[in-house]
Amino acid sequence: MLNNSLYNIFAADKTDEMIKIKLPDGTIKEFAKGSSPMDVAKGISEGFARNVISAKFNDIVIEVATPLNEDGSIVLYTWNDPEGKKAFWHSSSHVVAQALEELYPGVKLTIGPAIENGFYYDIDLGDKSISDKDFPAIENKALEIARGKHDFKMRAISKKEALAIYQEQKNQYKVELIENLEDGTITFCDHDTFTDLCRGGHIPNTGIIKAIKILSVAGAYWRGDEKNPQLTRVYGISFPKQKDLTEYLELLEQAKQRDHRKLGRELELFTFSAKVGQGLPLWLPKGAALRERLENFLKKAQKKAGYEMVVTPHIGQKELYVTSGHYAKYGEDSFQPIKTPKMDEEFLLKPMNCPHHCEIYNFKPHSYKDLPKRFAEFGTVYRYEQSGELHGLTRVRGFTQDDAHIFCTADQLDQEFKNVIDLSLYVLGSLGFENFTAQVSVRDLDKPEKYIGSIENWEKAENAIINAATEKGLNFTIKTGEAAFYGPKLDFMVKDALGRQWQLGTIQVDYNLPERFDLTYKGRDNELHRPVMIHRAPFGSMERFIALLLEHTGGNFPLWLIPEQAIILPVSEKHEKYAEKVLKSLEKHEIRALVDARNETVGKKIREAEMNKIPFMLIVGENEEAENTISVRRHGGEDLGAITLKDFNEMVSKEINSTLKSF
C-alpha cells in the first residue's frame, strides 16, 4: 500500500536544495532534490545505469524516473535481481492488459501482479472467451505495443476522480478496489493509450520487453472467493531477450517431463480419486512400498540416534489444539470440528503431531537424567487447502510427516542440534541431493516484544543452531527477523535438477509448547524446569519429499529405493524356465525383480522397461542359458555384456552401498 510520503514525491519541486542518499554499499552521496533513481545509478556508473530497471527508496518500490525529494536509502535493481524481474513482469502485465483490451473491447480489468515466474492478469471477459489458439494474436499485439517504447508514468489521482472513471466504465472490480483505498494514496499508471489503477513498481518503458509468451488461461474467482464472479486469469511471461524466452520454454518442457504428477501416474506410485476427495492421495502398491522403504531407512537411522517411536491418533479433542494454539492458526480456515452424539463434544482432525507428543511427554514426571527424550512418529495430519491451491503431492489436504520432537535441557540444545543436522545430512546424502543450502532464521533484536521465552534462552538457542551449522560445514545464510515467535529454526533448501529451489526438512526450537502444556523436569537442583522442545522432520512430509525426489531424479530413484531394480527378459518362450530360475536367485539376494514373459519382441520389452525407469534389463536366451549367465543392459542403453549371476549380485550391492551408507 502506498503511503503519503510516496504520494508527495510525485509532486516534485525543482529547487537547489540537496538531499542525502544512502547507497546499497552504505556510502552517502548528496544529490539535488528532485533527482531520480536513474540519476543516482548514473552517479555510480553509466554502464550499470543502462541495466537499472527498478528501484526501492525507503523500503518502497518506485520507478527509476520518480523524483526523490527527501533523504533516504536507495536500492537499484536490474533484470538479474528478483525485484527487477518483478517490476519487469508486472509492467508486462500492463502491456498484455492493453493488448487484451484492444483485441476484446469492453472487457473489464481487475488485477495483474507479477508472480514467481512471470505474471497474470485477471479479467472479466463478459460473454467472450480465450483459448490456446488466441495466444499468438495476444502475444503479437502485446509485442507490437512494447516496440512503441512507451514510458510508464505514474500519476496521483483523487479518489473521487478515480471512482468516476471506473464507474463510467462500469468496472465494479476497480471501483471496489478504489473504495478500499484512502484518498491521497491513489495512483494511476499510464503508458501509450493505456491507463490502469496501480501502486507502482514499473520498468522505465515498454521497449525493454523483447519477448512475451502467454502461457495459459484458467478460471479464478474475484478476490479468490467462490461466491464472487469467475474471472479469466491469463498467465504470461516476458523477457528482455528472445534467447531468454527460448531457454525458459526448454526448461518448462523438461519440467513437464519431470512433473511428479505425470511420473507418479506412469510409474504407478499414487493416484487421486474425485470420489475420495481432492488433495487426498491414494498410494498404489509400488508407491506404498517405496514409502515403506523410505520410512524404514529413516527409522533405522533414528533408532541409532536414540529416537523412540510413538503412535498417536488422527484426531484429538478440540481443547487440545486450543491449548497448543493450533486451533487459532488452523481452526476457522481448516477442517471443521467433528461432532459426536454427546452434546458439546468436538474433535479435530489433527493439523500437527506436536500436541500429542507433548501429552506423551507428560505421561510421567521427568528428571534431568531422563533427558533428552526423542519421540518420533510418521504422523498423518490434515489441513484444509483451497481447491485452487492443491497441486499433486506438494499441496495436499492430508499428509504424513516424518515427525519427531526432542525434549531436552537448554544446555543439551547444542549437541541435539548437531545430531539432528547429522541425521538430515545422512538422509540428503543417501538420496543423492548434493546441491543443498541451509537457512537459519533468527529473531529481530529490535523487536523483543515479538518473541516469547527469555532472552537468555533465545541466545542459547540461536548460538546452538549457528554453531552446529558452522561445525557441520553447512552452506548457510542467516535471516534476521524470520524466526517464529516461539523459537529460531534451520531449514534445508535443495535445488532440483532444473535449478528450482525447494524447501525440505526443518529443525525448529520451541519455547512455546512446553509453556502451554506445562512440561517440566526435575533439575539437579531438585527444582522443576521447562524443557526445550525441538521439532524436526528431515523429509518434511512423505508426500512432498517423494514429489521432489521424482522431479529431481526424473523417476530414476537411487537403486536402493527404486520399485523394480531389474527386469528379466526371456528372448522366447523356451527360456522362460531359465528366467524364473534367475528370478529366484535374485530374490534370494533381495534384489527386486520381475520377469516379462509377454509374447512381445525383446526390443519392445526393452523400450517399456526404459519408460518404467528400471535400472537393469537382464536378457536371457540360448547362450545365457547354456553358460548360466545373463546379458545385462543398463537403463539408458549401456551394454554390460554377459555376466554371471554372482557378479551381477555383487555389482548391485556395491552400487547400493555407494549411496546408502550406514548411519
Question: What residues make contact with Zn ion under the rule CB under 5 A?
Answer: 189, 198, 354, 535
Question: If you search the block for the grid coordinates 552446529, which residue do you land on?
Answer: 468
Cα–Cα distance for residue pair 510/117, rounded to 1 Å: 34
The 10 Å Cβ neighbour count of residue 415 is 13
Identify the H or E element spanning 462: helix 455-471
CB atoms within 10 A of CB 256: 9
Compute φ and ψ for 638, nearest 5 degrees: -65, 130
Nearest residue (CB) to Zn ion, 283 versus 375: 375
Cα–Cα distance, 619 to 617 (Å, whole number): 6
Using the minimum distance from each CB to Zn ion, give the nearer residue, 213 or 535.
Answer: 535
Looking at the Cβ atoms of 95 and 567, the one nearer to Zn ion is 95
Look up cell 514510458; give the residue: 151
* Cα angle 521, 527, 532; round to 5: 35
According to DSSP, residue 391 is labeled: B
* 649 contacts 591 by C-beta, under 8 angstroms: yes
Say which residues have a Cβ less than 8 Å from residue 224's Cβ, sequence separation at least 6.
Answer: 386, 388
Nearer to Zn ion (CB atom), residue 358 or residue 421: 358
The residue count for the chain: 663
Report residue 65: phi and psi, to 5°: -100, -5
Active site residues: 354, 383, 401, 403, 405, 489, 535
**Which strand ranges, in their side-by-side order, compose the sheet holding 308-309?**
308-309, 373-382, 398-408, 532-537, 501-510, 489-495, 436-442, 476-480
596: its cell numbers:
516379462
Q: In angstroms, what is the minimal distance from the CB of 189 to Zn ion?
A: 5
Phi-psi sector, 293: left (phi>0), alpha (psi -120 to 50), beta: alpha
